Amino acid sequence: MDVTKPLWELHILNVKTRDAESLFVFKIHHSIGDGASLISLLLACARKSSDPNALPSVPVKNRRARRQGVWLIWAVVRLVWNTLVDVLLVNATVLFLRDTRTPIKGPATGEGRNGKRFVHRTVSLGDIKMVKNAMNMAKWGWGNWIGNMMIPLTIALRDDPLDYLWSAKATMDRKKHSLEPILEFIGARILPMVFGVKATVGIFHKILSNTTLAFSNVVGPVEEISLYGHPIAYIAPSVYGHPHALTIHFQSYCNMMTISVAVDPEVIPDPHVLFDELEQSLIIMKGDVTLKFPKKGPNVGWKEIL
């Protein structure tokens, strides 16, 4: 780490975009905090546009009844088994296991020294919720509220576009019955004390080098906010400095979902094509859901923010 550079910077750019008159650019070192804590810090500095004295509100998870009896025993058994498998998978990734080479995987050296290009688009959050609710993807029991986890990325062509969602839901349901994120968090705290900072950095760099991409999502405010009197039109977080050639962030704000990507231009020279594919996939999935559940919402609408 270059100690001569500040850990955070704020740039105000008088550049007009399609949705904003100017831009706030926050450049913050990851040692300050993760995405959730940094968004929380931003919200603590912001106020509701409708009430300049009130802090922003974020969605609240409804509590569900706890399982009892045989179901509780089965849930504990699943939790232990899934955790054991996931921990072995993480250790194997550190030692020898790596993803198959694909067009979206980063350089074989894993250095990640190429510059990153940042692009984002905004989609209606209501459209995403419509697909989610139609396929019962909001239900979950045992859960991890924050953390890192390794998720399989399957490359396949399927007849039913919703099969991709069913597969993703099955994966996430299983991951929610695992202590992998919590153990990774504990390991990140213990490893520097046992092996030192350099060895810990090497371990995490190995994981990033042996995997294909990073995917993150953070919950934002449910109403419009302002920052010191300046109304916020959208929030588009991203990250750079790691070996991945593709990193995708989902950030909710009001009734919108901003999808931002950081790409290695030598691997993905035109990220707008990637967004076109994401757009088409969502349109196809929503169209299929609309046919099977005709009472669900309007057509999906995307808009690009340059």
Q: Which two tokens stand for residue 162?
A: 């919703």
Catalytic residue among 11, 29, 30, 249: 30
- Our answer to whether residue 120 is catalytic in this structure is no
Q: How far apart are CA 124 and CA 29, in angstroms?
A: 30
SS3 for 102-154, per residue?
A: CCCCCCCCCCCCCCCEEEEEEEEHHHHHHHHHHCCCCCCCCCCCCCCCCCCCC
Q: What is the spatial distance between Cα 98 and Cα 78, in angstroms, rounded to a whole number?
A: 26
**Euclidean distance between CA atoms 186 and 87, whole angstroms:** 12
Which DSSP symbol is given to 3? T
CB of 161 within 8 A of CB of 285? Answer: yes
Number of H helices, E strands in the chain: 7, 10
Strand duo 246-253 + 256-263: pairing: antiparallel
Q: Which residues are catalytic?
A: 30
